[in-house]
Amino acid sequence: MFLFRIAAVFCCLLSLLIACSPKKPVKIGFLGGMSGRVADLGVAGRNGAMLAIEQRNTAGGIHGQQVELVVKDDGQNSEVAQKAVAELLNSNIELIIGPMTSSIALAVLDQVNASKAILLAPTVSTTALTGKNDNFLRIIGDTSTYATKLARYQAQKFGHRRVAVIYDLNNRSYTESWFGDFKREFELHGGSVVAVETYHSLPTTSFHQLATTLLKQKPELVVIITNAVDAALICQQIRKQDAAVSIGMAEWASTERFIELAGGAAEGVLVSQFVNRTDPSERYQRFLKQYRERFGGQEPGFAGLAGYDAALAAMDAYAARKSGETLKQTIIRLNSFQGGQQKYQIDRFGDANRLTTATIVRNGIYQTLE
C-alpha cells in the first residue's frame, strides 16, 4: 500500500512536470537571398517575417506555442538554394516562406513537391507557376498583374508607342514572363517593341554599351526588367545619353535601394507594384512605425511588407488547421488574408489576387499615381 501511494505521488508529480514544461516551438522556414546583388530583397523579406513572428509570440504564439523562424540564405544560386531547402526539410519544417525570386522557386520546387512541405512565396511572380496544383503558393499576383498595368498606363496616359526593353537573364523565368506580358498588352494598345537587349547580371556588365544600343532606335520609352542594383546603373547610363526619354521599370527593382543608388536618375521612373507607400491608413502606418523601430529606421519597401504578410498568412494557417488537414488545404480553405496594408485572396491553385498601383519616383520617393 505504501509503495502504491509513492507510485501514485510520483505519477502526479511527473504529470505536473509534463504539463508545466514549455511546448515545442512551431518552426517556420525562410529562404531568401541575403547576399549578392539582390540581398536587399531577401533581407527585407526576412525582416518582415521576423517582425510578424515576434509580434505573434508577444501575443502568446500559436495556441500557446512560440514560433521560431529558421533562416537560410539561398545566395540567389540554385545549388545553394537546393541545399538550404534540403536542410529545412530534414528538420521537418512544413512551411517555408520564400524564396524571393522566380528562378530560385523553380530550382527548388521539385524538392518541395516531393515532400509534405509547401513554399509560401512573398515576391515570386512568374506565370510559369500560375494555375498549377503543386506545393507552391504565393501572396502576390503574377507578372501579368504588374506588366499589363504598366503597359496600359504608358500607352493610354502618355501615348507612348515605341519602347525599348532590357532584361536580365539570371532570373529569366521572371524577366521573360514579365516581358511577354508587357509586350502583348503594349501591342494591343498600338505600341511596338523597337529594341530588346538581354544580359547576365555580372559586376563586369557594360551598361553603358547596353544603353547606347537601346537608344539607337529612338524609343519614346525604355523599360527595365531587372534587380534594383542593375536598374539603378542602367538608369544612370540612359540619363547620361538621353535626359528626355521616359523610363518604366518592373516591380522587382522598386526597392529603396534603387532610389539610393540611382540618385537623380531615378526621378520620373514609373513602376506598378502592390504596395502603396503613401497609404495613410492606420494599419499601414502602424506597420511602418513598427518596422522602422525594429530595424533601425530602415524602410520595409515592398519586400518587407511581403515578408510580413507571408508570415501572417503562415501563422493564420497553423492556428486554423483542422485535424488531418495539410497547411496547403488550410490556406486554400481560408482563402482571404489580412496583410499589413490590404486584404487579398489565395485561390485553389495557391495564386494570389491583390490590388496594384501605378507609382512614380518623385523627389526621391515612390508616389502613387492611381
The per-residue pLDDT for range 204-228, each reduced to its tens digit, is 999 999 999 999 999 999 999 999 9
Residues 6+ apart with CB under 8 A from 142: 125, 126, 127, 129, 130, 177, 351
H or E stretch including 199?
strand 192-199
- pLDDT digit string (tens) for 75-100? 999 999 999 999 999 999 999 999 99
C-alpha closest to that of 39 among 1, 93, 77, 2: 77
- pLDDT value for 20: 46
- pLDDT digit string (tens) for 122-174? 999 999 999 999 999 999 999 999 999 999 999 999 999 999 999 999 999 99
pLDDT tier, 38 (very low <50, low <70, confident <90, very high otherwise): confident
Residues 6+ apart with CB under 8 A from 104: 31, 33, 74, 76, 78, 81, 98
Domain ranges of the chain: 26-141+280-353, 144-273
Question: Is residue 10 predicted with pLDDT exceeding 80?
Answer: no
pLDDT tier, 23 (very low <50, low <70, confident <90, very high otherwise): confident
Looking at every residue in the chain, the average pLDDT score rounds to 93
- pLDDT value for 39: 92
Q: Which CATH class is domain 144-273?
A: alpha beta
Flag whether the pTM goes above 0.85. Answer: yes
Cα 120 to Cα 49, 103, 221, 247, distances in angstroms: 12, 15, 35, 32
Listed range (12-16, 35-39, 281-285) with the worst mean pLDDT: 12-16
- Could you tell me what percent of the chain has a pLDDT over 90? 92
CATH number of 26-141+280-353: 3.40.50.2300
| DSSP of 166-198 | EEEGGGHHHHHHHHHHHHHHHHHTT-EEEEEEE
Is 26-141+280-353's fold the same as 144-273's?
A: yes
C-alpha cell at 31: 529562404
- pLDDT value for 21: 52
- pLDDT value for 22: 66
Question: Is residue 102 predicted with pLDDT exceeding 80?
Answer: yes
Phi, psi of 352 (to 5 degrees): -100, 155
